[in-house]
């Protein structure tokens, strides 16, 4: 019985230590844009990301799985149109879409990686 209690306490303390270390805030939460407009989405993390650049952007179009569009702040993933541009460093990042198109409709997510193994999305 004592071993079970120790195990439960250990798991409880471990869970408390692991959760809530990092937060990510994206803004604005909703954008309505006309075709051809420039759109900016901001992403702020509660602490600097690994190497100051390990922030990635994903796009999830309606009815589809998310896809990677920008990795390590500013690198366009294969197939990502040149109108998508990532910028920023440390804990403040921006995704810019220059000349937004109707096919860009969807949910955009930033994902960060931090030095002690922790991913956020």
| Overall pTM surpassing 0.75 (yes/no) | yes
pLDDT above 70: percentage of residues in the chain: 79
What is d(CA 104, CA 45) in angstroms, rounded to the nearest whole number?
Answer: 24
What is residue 22's predicted lDDT score, i.e. its pLDDT? 84
pLDDT digits (tens, 9 = 90+) for 69-101: 999 999 999 999 999 999 999 999 999 999 999
- Intervals of the chain under pLDDT 50: 1-19
In sequence order, which ranges of 23-113 are alpha helices (DSSP H)? none
Q: Is residue 7 part of a domain?
A: no
CA distances from 38 to 11, 60, 86, 93 (A): 48, 19, 13, 16
Q: Is residue 64 part of a domain?
A: yes
Whichever domain contains 64, its CATH number is 2.60.40.10
Domain coverage including residue 57: 23-120
């Amino acid at each position: 019985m004592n071993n079970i209690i120790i195990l439960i306490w250990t798991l409880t303390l471990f869970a408390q230590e692991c959760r809530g270390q990092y937060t990510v805030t994206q803004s604005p939460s909703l954008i309505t844009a006309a075709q051809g407009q420039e759109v900016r989405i901001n992403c702020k993390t509660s602490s600097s990301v690994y190497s100051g650049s390990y922030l990635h952007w994903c796009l999830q179009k309606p009815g589809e799985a998310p896809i990677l569009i920008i990795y390590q702040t500013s690198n366009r993933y294969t197939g990502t149109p040149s109108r998508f541009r990532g910028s920023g460093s440390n804990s403040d990042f921006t995704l810019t879409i220059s000349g937004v198109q109707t096919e860009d409709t969807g949910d955009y997510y930033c994902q960060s990686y931090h030095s002690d193994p922790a991913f956020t999305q």
